[in-house]
């Protein structure tokens, strides 16, 4: 989006705290980052498309130690220019306080403690007709799977040229299949689905992988992902790791 001079809106429906400490009790207890970003940063032959992300993470940390990891607002803050603006929604009372504190001197950020789904729809179409919408719900409620897709379908009717990114966990395959069916039976065009799973689908409790639906993906993103996904499998993939890249709708 920033390759063009014209400004754009970045809209984040479930923003979280903005920035996360890898030294806090929870991060140390799970240790997830040690099998993820810590390994990727140390890897060799990092694909060119992934370099800006790696540089962004390293710029936030000391050379010898990972202490911080950015949430989506933390990434957006590094990339947004004077002509762009960030619109961040968060309902959780603790996270919204952390987010406000993080964005204190971020003049181009607008933070609201309100429903992110409605917030997205209320801001579209943006004045300059350029925008990126990220929907990354907690999925604590099963309704989130359908609600998130439904929000994008409604948003697309208002702003068909925007780029929409929807993150989802792979917990039960039938829930993901329903999202796929909802997209393919809608009027939303140009939907790319990418998925990275550490283990096979299971009926047992727990997340086996994650994915993204991307509406109007940037030019060349699909080709870049064809390099990034094998790199991820090689460097952080477990034994049964698998990935997929599908153009859902042309």
Bridge-partner residues for 9, per DSSP? 85, 131
Query: Residue for token digits 């800006």?
Result: 52
Of 118, 120, 100, the C-alpha closest to 110 is 100
Cβ proximity of 117 and 147 under 8 Å? yes
Q: Give the tokens for residue 127.
A: 């004045």
Among this protein's residues, is 115 annotated catalytic? no
Tokens 């550490």 belong to 198
d(CA 248, CA 250): 7
Question: Active site residue: 136, 177, 201, 203, which one?
Answer: 136
Cis peptide bond prior to 198, omega within 30° of 0:
no
Catalytic residues: 136
């Amino acid at each position: 989006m920033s390759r063009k001079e014209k400004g754009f809106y970045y809209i984040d429906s479930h923003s979280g705290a903005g920035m996360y400490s890898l030294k806090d009790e929870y991060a140390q207890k799970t240790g997830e980052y040690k099998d993820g970003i810590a390994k990727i940063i140390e890897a060799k032959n990092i694909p060119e498309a992934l370099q800006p992300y790696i540089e962004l993470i390293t710029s936030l940390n000391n050379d010898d130690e990972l202490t911080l990891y950015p949430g989506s607002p933390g990434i957006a803050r590094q990339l947004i220019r004077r002509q762009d603006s960030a619109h961040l929604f968060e309902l959780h009372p603790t996270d919204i306080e952390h987010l406000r504190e993080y964005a204190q001197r971020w003049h181009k950020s607008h933070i609201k403690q309100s429903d992110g789904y409605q917030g997205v729809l209320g801001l579209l179409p943006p004045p300059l007709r350029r925008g990126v919408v990220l929907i990354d719900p907690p999925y604590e409620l099963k309704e989130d799977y359908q609600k998130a897709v439904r929000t994008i379908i409604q948003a697309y009717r208002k702003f068909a040229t925007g780029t929409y990114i929807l993150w989802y966990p792979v917990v039960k395959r039938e829930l993901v299949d329903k999202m796929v069916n909802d997209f393919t039976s809608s009027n939303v065009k140009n939907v790319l689905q990418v998925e990275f799973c550490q283990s096979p689908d299971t009926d047992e409790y727990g997340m086996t992988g994650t994915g993204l639906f991307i509406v109007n993906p940037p030019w060349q993103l699909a080709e870049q992902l064809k390099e990034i996904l094998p790199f991820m499998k090689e460097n952080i993939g477990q034994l049964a790791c698998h990935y997929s890249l599908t153009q859902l709708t042309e």
